[in-house]
Amino acid sequence: MALIECTECGNRLSDAAATCPTCGAPVPRTPGPEQESCPFCMTLVSSHATTCPSCQAKKGYLYEPRYGVFGKTGTLIWGVAVPAITVIGIPFSLYAAYRLYVTGPRWFQPRHA
């Protein structure tokens, strides 16, 4: 057990302590091979975990205040697919609005005729 210096207040404390007894700042931990440290509370969690058991922080790819944290599927849908469809769909919707309000209906001949 060694004494380390607190990163917040400079107080000397044990490396086994969870928080600094003077200021309450969390003590950074060295993660093992299959672990990582939560950036908010410094708790060691599994590298495959999606939620910190101590502070309930969530790990994901995107964050949106109304919907929370997006995982891989949500990121693919809302971060890639929807914007791509929107970009592709905007010219078509402008053309459709032009046809509706400017040119009006017209005749189309079926391809199999």
Which residues fall within 8 angstroms of residue 20, CB to CB, at 6 or more apart? 6, 8, 9, 11, 13, 27
78 near 70, Cβ under 8 Å?
yes
The encoded tokens of residue 18 equal 């969870």
pTM (2 d.p.): 0.52
pLDDT digits (tens, 9 = 90+) for 35-84: 988 888 878 889 888 888 988 888 888 888 888 888 888 888 888 888 88
Task: Report whether pLDDT(28) > 80.
Answer: no
What pLDDT is recorded for position 16? Answer: 81
Query: Where do the domains of the chain lie?
Result: 72-101
pLDDT digits (tens, 9 = 90+) for 76-109: 888 888 888 888 888 878 877 888 888 777 666 6
44 vs 38: CA distance, rounded Å: 6
The encoded tokens of residue 64 equal 């949106």
